[in-house]
Chain A
């Protein structure tokens, strides 16, 4: 089956669910860095794009389809870039959240421009025709098989994040998020905490990018751009910063509506999302997942 057929294929739903899982890994990376450690990053889409393009180019130009090799190479490149940026941002004195946001935003912008203009990267067309991946020489031949592959990796990574957040290191991440300076006075090596977390999140985003490439069969400049960067942050804001599941649910719901609404209200839908974001930030600063807690505390006040 050629990659073009994937988009025209009849198992449309499989595609959507697979994409939700891939974005799930991406949103985990934003939640781990911003939600848990307070690194306000707009750069996850850039690293997502790096992972995707690395996979796309290697798969099409070098004809390598083994998923472990593809993920491994995407990881190496993603981690290397993540390390460079985090060393630049965090190894010195404390920098503000806005500074981090601007630098990572610029990174996304650069990546999108580069993908758009560099012919090696396919310019505006991106890299089409990425073949199905293979595992141990056995080629996956359908969307549903790719879906199972993505599902397994998603579950493994989610368990990993869940484990880290609930370990003592999770508390360290939160200590840095809630008061960087205080954490330093306790003796935390704040730069190392931030660099370690950023690299971990770069790894997550590049794995997501790799899976995006093999499941969609196409990578394009928009996957590393400002729009996706902003969207990832939006998922975390809507779902609730500091919770692992809130952003995942927000992303899934938005993705499901996305495809429908883009057909029904193509011009109004982005505006609606913007309004939703504003309302959430003003009235529910801790996201939609904080609603149960708010109801609970209102009830407690009433019983008093």
Chain B
């Protein structure tokens, strides 16, 4: 039996905003090819936790390591270089750029300037762009500005941009927000496929979506992780039922 390496390790992270403790002494870990769901109602601190992991808001205390490399205080560029990619809650794509340009922006991010300047046309990476666009059903829209895409397509575009760079850790903040049930199903398939190459953290408030998809789930409430386990364990956990499920 192969032992899976620990990919992301978050140890005793606390984040304070003045006197407000948004995340209190929270720990979690993700192994290779594992999908972890971070579940919690609005204001439970799961977004703050995600921001601490991705480097948007540095934690007040605690330690975050990626492949045994400490990244707690590293900036987003360094984290991207270490193999982290993110999809934000509201799709942050380049609305005025075409779908092709958007994917290229992600693909070329780590190339040197001189390599970029030498490449006079935007035709580079064409094969990879077409491959991704086909996978995410965007192939017919490559030439369209991203602002003309539907809401669900914009989400897919951002996920495809994150997957494009073959990240080792993929952070997805509410990947299906505002999607139709059919689009959700399709998204689940795409995420499952991406997990063949990466560990994935999904932040959600909808248990139904992630219980099918995730290997493990951690539940946050008032800034603390109140339960962790398999989807079945989480669903039957009385504490989770009390603080979370009954309120939905």
Contacts and interface: CB of A to CB of B under 8 A. Distances in A.
A174 B97 CA distance: 9
A174 B98 CA distance: 12
Interface in B111-157: 111, 113, 115-122, 124
A171 B101 contact: yes
B54 A168 contact: no
Give the size range of B's interface with the partner.
Answer: 20 to 34
A179 to B, nearest CB: 6
A192 B115 CA distance: 14
A182 B141 CA distance: 22
B12 to A, nearest CB: 25
Contacts of B92: 179, 182
Contacts of A186: 80, 85, 105-106, 109, 161, 165
A187 interface: yes
B76 interface: yes
B245 interface: no
A178 interface: yes
Given A164-B117, A168-B124, A175 B94 contact: yes
Contacts, number: 79
A187 B84 CA distance: 9
B96 interface: yes
B116 A169 contact: yes
B69 interface: no
A252 interface: no
Given A171-B104, A187-B165, A196 B120 contact: no
Contacts of A166: 120-122
B117 A167 contact: yes
B122 A168 contact: yes
B75 interface: yes
Interface string A136-166: 0000000000000000000000000001101
Contacts of A182: 92, 94
B225 interface: no
B86 interface: yes
B16 interface: no
B81 interface: yes
B80 A187 contact: yes
Contacts of B104: 168, 171
A88 B194 CA distance: 41
A184 to B, nearest CB: 4
Nearest to B158: A182
B108 interface: yes
Contacts of B106: 186
Interface string B163-205: 0010000000000000000000000000000000000000000
A19 interface: no
A179 B94 contact: yes
B239 interface: no
A167 B119 contact: yes
Contacts of B56: 181
Contacts of B165: 186-187
A269 interface: no
Interface string A269-297: 00000000000000000000000000000
Interface string A189-222: 1101100100000000000000000000000000
A172 interface: yes
B110 interface: yes
A188 to B, nearest CB: 5
B89 to A, nearest CB: 13
10 contacts: A171-B108, A172-B105, A172-B108, A174-B97, A175-B94, A178-B96, A185-B76, A186-B106, A187-B81, A187-B165
Interface of B: 54, 56, 75-77, 80-81, 85-86, 92, 94, 96-97, 101, 104-106, 108-111, 113, 115-122, 124, 161, 165
Interface of A: 163-164, 166-169, 171-172, 174-175, 178-179, 181-190, 192-193, 196
Given A166-B120, A168-B119, A184-B80, 6 more contacts: A167-B121, A168-B117, A182-B92, A182-B94, A185-B76, A186-B165
